[in-house]
A = this chain, B = another copy of it.
Amino acid sequence: MRIKITVSYKGTNYCGFQIQQNGNTVQEELENAIYKITGEKSTVIPSGRTDSGVHALGQVAHFDTNSNIPPEKFTSALNAYLPKDIRVQKSEPANVNFHARYSAKRKTYCYTYYFAEQDNPLISEFCERVNKPLNIELMKKAALYLKGTHDFAGFTNTGSFVNNTVRTLYNIKIKTEKEEIEKVKIYINGNGFLYNMVRIIASTLKDVGLGKKPPQIIKNIIQTGNRNLASPTAPPNGLCLLFVEYDI
C-alpha cells in the first residue's frame, strides 16, 4: 500500500531533506521511524528536496508498505519515533499512481525578511534580517515581471544541470506583517522551481526593496538569462516550503 504523508519540519539542524553520507537528514529520520514501526526498509520520496536549513510547513512525501497499520494511524505512530523538529501532520492512503514528486502540480514557498538593527533571536531561525526598511511597492512592481511562463535560467545556480529552465509562476504575493516586529513575506506559487530559484528571486526582490536595483532588473534577468545580474542566493533560514498541490 502507498501512504501519502504531509510533514512539517524545522530545517535548522538538518542537512536538507535527502539522505546524505554525512549529516542528519529529514528523509533518514522518516525512514528510521517507518522501520521502527513496520520493520520494513521503505524509501520516502518527497515532492522535492529542500536544501540544508530550509523549513517546511507542508512537505508531501510517499512510501510503500506491506504492513496492516491503517494509513491514518501512521501520523501518531511516526511522531512517537521522530525528533521534535519533524512532525507528520497527516497520513492517508494514496492511489498506486500517486507519486509525491511526479504528481505534484503546484508548490508554494514563502521567504521572510524582517527589518531590525540587531538580530532577533525570537525569529532569526525563520526569517532573514535586513538593516533598512524595504520598499514594498518597488518589490511588488518587480514581482509582476516574474509572473507567468518564463525561462528562469538567470535565477538558478551553476552546478544544477537541467535541460529545461522554463517554469510557470502562477502567483507572487508580497505582504507586510507588523506585529511586534516588521516582516516582509514573499509568497511564490509555481509549477516547479529550479535549484535555489526561490532564494535568488527573494534576494533580488530584497535588493529592489532596498533601492539597490531597479524593478526592471527582473525583466533583464529573464531576457538575458544572466545569473550575475541577480543577487546572491538568500540564506536558507528565511525559506519555507508551505504547500504542495496535487490533482490526484
A interface residue numbers (CB < 8 A to B): 8-10, 55, 57, 75, 79, 84-89, 110, 116-122, 124, 126, 177, 179-181, 240, 242
Contact = CB atoms under 8 A, between A and B. Distances in A.
Contacts of A119: 79, 84, 87
A168 B169 CA distance: 53
Contacts of A86: 121
A72 to B, nearest CB: 11
B118 A79 contact: yes
Copies in the complex: 2
B180 A177 contact: no
10 contacts: A9-B121, A10-B121, A57-B120, A79-B119, A84-B119, A84-B124, A87-B118, A89-B116, A89-B117, A122-B240
Contacts of A117: 89
Given A89-B117, A117-B89, A122 B177 contact: no
Contact of A121 (B85, B122, B242): B85
Contacts of A122: 8, 10, 55, 57, 126, 240
Contact of A242 (B110, B118, B180): B180
Contacts of A116: 89
B121 A84 contact: yes
A33 to B, nearest CB: 14
Contacts of A180: 57, 110, 242
